[in-house]
Amino acid sequence: MAHPKRKISKTRRDTRRAHDFLTGKQLGTDASTGEIHQFHRAHVHEGNLVYRGKVVVENYTKTV
């Protein structure tokens, strides 16, 4: 049976296991637009970038 040459620390072990318990993203509904979006993120509604119910950028186009 194979044995590790050195002890793996608890921190290294737990860091590797941290990704096993990821959950889905939190979604919310904007009260002014009714749009479903990710919390604390601006979202596009009718060509405008909206954050917290206010238009941040008009005629928004996504650039790569």
Parse the chain into domains and list their residue ranges: 26-64
Query: Could you give the 3-state DSSP secondary structure of residue 18?
Result: helix
Q: How many C-beta atoms lie closer than 10 Å to residue 57's C-beta?
A: 13
pTM above 0.95, yes or no: no
Q: What is the mean pLDDT of the chain?
A: 89
State residue 24's pLDDT score: 86
State residue 6's pLDDT score: 93
Task: Give 57's strand partners.
Answer: 49
Q: How many C-beta atoms lie closer than 10 Å to residue 6's C-beta?
A: 5
Q: How many C-beta atoms lie closer than 10 Å to residue 7's C-beta?
A: 8
Residue 64, pLDDT above cutoff 80:
no
Rounded Cα gap, residues 3 and 29, in angstroms? 52
